[in-house]
Amino acid sequence: MQLNITFRHLEPTEALKAHVKGRVEHVQRFLDRPTEAHAVLHVENLAHHAELTVKAGRFLLRGTAKTKDMYASIDEAADKIERQLKKHKSKLHDHKAGHVEAVPIEVRHDVLDIFDHPERPSHRVAKSTVFQAKEMTLDEAILQLDLLGSQFFVFQNAADRAINVLYRREDASLGLIEARAS
């Protein structure tokens, strides 16, 4: 697993690096395959902040904590990630019986340039991205949209396997487009 540690307003010590590494390795035992992790440790006023981000398959898990001791902050942030992983694993285990594996659906996202010509308006593809719509629940999709900081997220709904588009509206609320075969 690749681990990056960033220190802000704090002296980087080997003891802190070792503590973060140990906590991330402890979290890793809940994961199926090696991942990457990033830790940001910083001091603001007298508060010690620890932010841990772990990439686990298709999910990004984030734990943050603020205490008066950096070691306690690291432990608390890692505990939050462990709780998220345990909750997710128990959901998977509970739903595994009778679950049929979804067929991945390929999605293409095109960015278009529009040419405003008086006689014949037209367009061309300026950028194209191809990805797979992963199967997940609406709650997982909302979490992933927030974690990515994106305006929209395309996923396959775990309940009915329909393609859904979750998007952020101009008033900061969320919208959902559900596509079903008629």
Structural domains of the chain in order of their starting residue, each with its CATH number: 2-96 (3.30.160.100), 105-179 (3.30.505.50)
Is pLDDT at 70 greater than 90 in this prediction?
A: yes
Report helix, strand or coil for 116: coil
Is pLDDT at 23 greater than 60 in this prediction?
A: yes
Q: How much is the mean pLDDT over the chain?
A: 83
Distances (CA, A) of 43 to 75, 88, 109: 16, 31, 41
Is pLDDT at 69 greater than 90 in this prediction?
A: yes
Alpha helix stretches (DSSP H) within the chain: 14-28, 70-96, 138-148
What pLDDT digit, counting tens, does each position of 82-93 carry? Answer: 887 777 666 655
Structure confidence at residue 93 (pLDDT): 54
Q: Which of 9, 83, 15 is nearest to 49 (CA)?
A: 9
What pLDDT digit, counting tens, does each position of 54-68 carry? Answer: 887 767 788 899 999
Q: Which two three-digit tokens encode residue 4?
A: 């990056």
Averaged pLDDT for residues 37-50: 92
Structure confidence at residue 89 (pLDDT): 66
Is pLDDT at 152 greater than 60 in this prediction?
A: yes
Is pLDDT at 9 greater than 80 in this prediction?
A: yes
Distances (CA, A) of 38 to 2, 76, 96, 162, 173: 8, 15, 31, 34, 29
Q: What percent of the chain has pLDDT over 70?
A: 88
Is pLDDT at 100 greater than 60 in this prediction?
A: no
158-161-167 Cα angle (round to 5): 75
Q: Which two three-digit tokens encode residue 166?
A: 């979750």
User: Angle of helix 70-96 relative to helix 14-28, nearest 10 degrees?
Assistant: 10
